[in-house]
Amino acid sequence: MPDSQEKQTSFPIQLVAIPATVIVLIFTVIYLHTESDRQRTYPLTEYDIDIPNDSLSVEHGRRIFTIRGCVDCHGDNAGGKIVESGVLTGTIVAPNLTTGNGSALEGYTGEDIVRVIREGVKPNGQSVVLMPSHKFRVIHKRDIESLVAYLRHLPPVNRDLPATRLNFPIRFYYFLNRELGLFPANLIQRPVEFPQIDSTDVYEKGRYLASSCVGCHGHHLEGGPVPGAPPYWPEAPDLTASGPLGDWTKDQFKTAMKNGVTPDGRHLDEQYMPWPAFGQLTDEEFDLIWNYLQTL
């Protein structure tokens, strides 16, 4: 009788223990794999840069900061903020880029900042988290230098922010899809030379300006799910001729980008489409982007 009771009680323990062991093993493997990518070190590229100090360059850097979307995560004053906090992601923090208390750039040289922007690599050789550095490789040397100049001239913001903390679901998603850009230094193809552009080629100039859009709208601006965005975000629309813009005029395009109102009267939500940033573009730049979009 005691033997039969032992058998009856041991069965449910095994039924729970085996799946629990498998689950713990899966969690451990995914955590160690993603943490290995987080702790990996990369070579520190040497850059030949000359950070300007004149007011025109600083103002140009401010426009780059806005148009390239830095303002969306780091804020108007670059003081940083918690970008996302939830069960699926954990706490995603865009750090303080000013010289105030809590600055993430304390002790950084101009070259260090360029490396973070273009490669996602911190001075210790490790990757930043969820910064689209792999999208910023296209930014030209003068624009990068002006951007660093702007950051150096910002008024200090005293803001201590928590460290970024990654929950298991976003680690698991990254484990399945390495294109997520959780650790963008992984996505950088080296060498990382500055791109060259023919200042007389209007097509290339338009494509360069439109490269600000690829982070959400895709490499070919074909639209679709926004990489790394929360699951509740709407898909980015197709910006090619086969998408909604195929029925717009250039003036309607400018109005939407400057005022956030589409031809059908719909108001663009700034959370998903940062049209105030693109309102910084000049009429000439709008023309260049529009003409480029017509070729897609």
| 68, pLDDT greater than 70 | yes
Is residue 195 situated within a structural domain?
A: no
Is residue 26 situated within a structural domain?
A: no
Q: Does residue 257 share a domain with residue 153?
A: no
Q: Does residue 143 share a domain with residue 259?
A: no
What is residue 2's predicted lDDT score, i.e. its pLDDT? 52
Q: Does residue 268 share a domain with residue 154?
A: no
Domain boundary residue, one of 153, 187, 221: 187
Average pLDDT over residues 121-141: 92
Among 109-113, 179-183, 184-188, the minimum mean pLDDT is found in 179-183
Q: State whether the Cα torsion 181-35-40-48 is positive or negative.
A: positive
CATH of residue 158: 1.10.760.10
Neighbours of 195 (CB within 10 A): 12
Quote the CA–CA distance of 67 and 53 in Å, as a whole number: 21
Is residue 167 situated within a structural domain?
A: yes
What is residue 216's predicted lDDT score, i.e. its pLDDT? 86
Q: Does residue 211 share a domain with residue 149?
A: no
What is residue 252's predicted lDDT score, i.e. its pLDDT? 94
Q: Does residue 112 share a domain with residue 212?
A: no
Instruction: Find which of 157-171, 177-191, 211-225 is predicted with most confidence, using mean pLDDT.
Output: 157-171
Average pLDDT over residues 127-135: 90
| 4, pLDDT greater than 70 | no
Q: Does residue 154 share a domain with residue 78?
A: yes
| 179, pLDDT greater than 80 | no
Quote the CA–CA distance of 120 and 186 in Å, as a whole number: 9
Neighbours of 139 (CB within 10 A): 21
Is residue 9 situated within a structural domain?
A: no
| 10, pLDDT greater than 60 | no
Q: Does residue 215 share a domain with residue 166?
A: no
Q: Does residue 279 share a domain with residue 168?
A: no
Q: Does residue 153 share a domain with residue 77?
A: yes
Helix (H) or strand (E) holding 84: strand 81-86
Is residue 43 situated within a structural domain?
A: no
Give the tens place of pLDDT for each residue, 29-52. 899 999 999 999 999 999 999 999
Which range of residues forms the domain containing residue 234? 202-293
Question: pLDDT exceeding 70 applies to what percent of the chain?
Answer: 94
Is residue 77 situated within a structural domain?
A: yes
Domain boundary residue, one of 187, 214, 231: 187
Contact present, 175 and 183 (Cβ < 8 Å)? no
Q: Does residue 74 share a domain with residue 137?
A: yes
Eight-class DSSP state of 85: E
Q: Does residue 180 share a domain with residue 70?
A: yes
Into how many domains does the chain fold? 2
Give the tens place of pLDDT for each residue, 185-214. 998 888 788 887 777 789 999 999 999 898
Quote the CA–CA distance of 99 and 6 in Å, as a whole number: 68
What backbone phi and psi angles, to 5 degrees, belong to 163?
-75, 150
Neighbours of 38 (CB within 10 A): 19
Q: Which residue has the higher pLDDT, 284 or 178?
A: 284
Is residue 140 situated within a structural domain?
A: yes
Is residue 21 situated within a structural domain?
A: no
Q: Does residue 250 share a domain with residue 171?
A: no
